[in-house]
A = this chain, B = another copy of it.
Amino acid sequence: MAGNETIVRIQFDEVVGLAEEIFIACGVGREESHMLSESLARADARGIMSHGVVRVPSYVDQFENGRFSKETRLDAVRETLFSTVLDANNGLGSVASYKSVELTKKKARENGIAFTAVRNSNHYGAAGLWSSMIAEDKDLIGFTSTTSILIVAAPTGAGRAIGSNPISIAVPAEMHPNLCLDISMGNMAQGKIWEYKRLNKPFPDDFWLGPDGEVTTDPNKFALEEYVMIPFGMHKGFGLGVVLEMLTSGLSGGAFHRQYVGFTKEQLPLCHCFGAMRIDAFMDPADYRKNVDEYIDYLHGLPSRHGAAPIMFPGEIEAKVEADAKMNGVKIPSQVLADMRASAVKYGVDTSAYAKFLSAAI
Contacts and interface: CB of A to CB of B under 8 A. Distances in A.
Interface of A: 78, 80-83, 85, 111-113, 115, 117, 141, 153-159, 161, 167, 169, 171, 179, 181, 183, 187, 209, 213-214, 232-233, 235-237, 239-240, 242-243, 245-247, 249-253, 256-258, 277, 279, 281-283, 287-288, 291-292, 294-295, 297-299, 302-306, 308-314
B288 A250 contact: yes
A179 B241 CA distance: 12
Count of identical protomers in the assembly: 2
Contacts of A181: 239-240, 242-243
Given A154-B302, A239-B181, A303-B158, A141 B246 contact: yes
Given A171-B246, A179-B246, A309 B156 contact: yes
B83 A161 contact: no
Nearest to A168: B243
Given A154-B311, A159-B303, A236-B183, A169 B257 contact: no
A258 B295 contact: yes
Contacts of A308: 156-158
A64 B165 CA distance: 48
Given A158-B302, A181-B239, A258-B294, 4 more contacts: A183-B236, A235-B312, A242-B295, A253-B291
